[in-house]
Amino acid sequence: MAGIELGEAAGRSPRGTGPGSGSQSQPAWLDITQGVTGLLLTLFMWAHMLFVSSILLGKDAMFFVARLFEAEPIFGRPYPILVSGVVLIVFAIFATHAIAAIRKIPSSYRQYGLFRRHASSFGHADTSLWMLQVVTGFVLMFLAAAHLYQMFMHPADIGPYASSDRVWSGLWWPLYLVLLFAVELHGGIGIYRLALKWGWFADRHGYTPRRRLARAKWALTAFFLALGLATLAAYMSIGYEHRDRVGERYEPERAALASPVPPPAPQGKA
């Protein structure tokens, strides 16, 4: 939060700095933990979007990506349990990030009122972005957790037909639509705030081009939102066409073409 923490706004000593409050390094470690886990989650989110959007290249492309994460090209058969393992790691990072970040969220109506008065007193754009990040983070605590649970419990239900059936016939598309906007806005703002805080793009004088950085952030957010909407529309379209065959698994065309043709039956001598 730009310039002030909630504890200071409410007239309290910041946690870890008052008399008898224990280690003064705890807030710093929590801040570093929040930043590192947020960065990892955002990078994963962007990579995940690129992999999921393989459906735009065709069903075979998405099928290959799904089997790749199940290590079929390595072991010769898919192991969906590997997907559950990745989901478990992502959930651990997600929970750590939420625990580290929740300390900065207004925990009462009084704190929220103090924040609103403070923010409206100078109309700082980045403070408004922080509040948007709080709202989207609150949404993600529920929707992202639901999505991760579903992936953990059903790791084999990933593929051109299985995923599309879940989106359309399983009626997950409203959740995915809200989740798309929440995660892209939250992650984009988080990366922007980290770049400002740690001076990743600062010049040798320590100056960070804030406006240029903000434009880059919104450009990235717009790109991934457009990609995500196109991807969701593709899954909905396939799911709609496949609604009468829910549960059927996709067989790639290359597998059908590679199936052996039975030899002609031997003919007896005349």
pLDDT digits (tens, 9 = 90+) for 62-120: 999 999 999 999 999 999 999 999 999 999 999 999 999 988 777 777 777 777 777 77
Domain total for the chain? 1
Q: What is the token pair recorded at 8? A: 């200071």
pLDDT digits (tens, 9 = 90+) for 187-208: 999 999 999 888 888 777 777 7
As a whole number, mean pLDDT of residues 138-144 equals 94
Task: Note whether residue 148 is domain-resident.
Answer: yes
Looking at the chain, the number of H-run helices and the number of E-run strands are: 11, 0
pLDDT in the model for residue 16: 45
Please check the confidence at residue 13 and state whether its pLDDT lies above 70: no
pLDDT in the model for residue 6: 45
Task: Note whether residue 4 is domain-resident.
Answer: no
pLDDT in the model for residue 255: 54
pTM of the model: 0.80
Task: Note whether residue 5 is domain-resident.
Answer: no
Task: Note whether residue 159 is domain-resident.
Answer: yes
Question: Do 137 and 185 form a contact (C-beta atoms < 8 A)?
Answer: no
Residue of 148, 26, 152, 28 lying closest to 94 (CA atoms): 148
pLDDT in the model for residue 63: 96
Q: Which domain holds residue 64?
A: 26-247
Task: Note whether residue 140 is domain-resident.
Answer: yes
pLDDT category at 259 given cuts 50, 70, 90 is very low
Task: Note whether residue 207 is domain-resident.
Answer: yes
Cα–Cα dist 196/82, whole Å: 36
Task: Note whether residue 209 is domain-resident.
Answer: yes
pLDDT category at 20 given cuts 50, 70, 90 is very low
pLDDT category at 270 given cuts 50, 70, 90 is very low
Domain CATH number, residue 104: 1.20.1300.10
pLDDT category at 7 given cuts 50, 70, 90 is very low
Task: Note whether residue 78 is domain-resident.
Answer: yes
Cα–Cα dist 63/113, whole Å: 50
Question: Do 125 and 16 form a contact (C-beta atoms < 8 A)?
Answer: no
Q: DSSP states of 149-207 as a string?
A: HHHHH-TT--SHHHHHHHHTTT--HHHHHHHHHHHHHHHHHHHHHHHHHHTTT--TTS-
As a whole number, mean pLDDT of residues 145-158 equals 95
Cα–Cα dist 186/207, whole Å: 25
Please check the confidence at residue 9 and state whether its pLDDT lies above 50: no
184: Cβ contacts below 8 Å, ≥ 6 apart: 45, 221, 224, 225, 228
Is the model more confident about 20 or about 224? 224
pLDDT in the model for residue 210: 84
pLDDT category at 186 given cuts 50, 70, 90 is very high
Cα–Cα dist 183/223, whole Å: 13
Please check the confidence at residue 21 and state whether its pLDDT lies above 80: no
As a whole number, mean pLDDT of residues 124-149 equals 90
pLDDT in the model for residue 8: 41
Is the model more confident about 106 or about 225? 225
pLDDT in the model for residue 125: 77
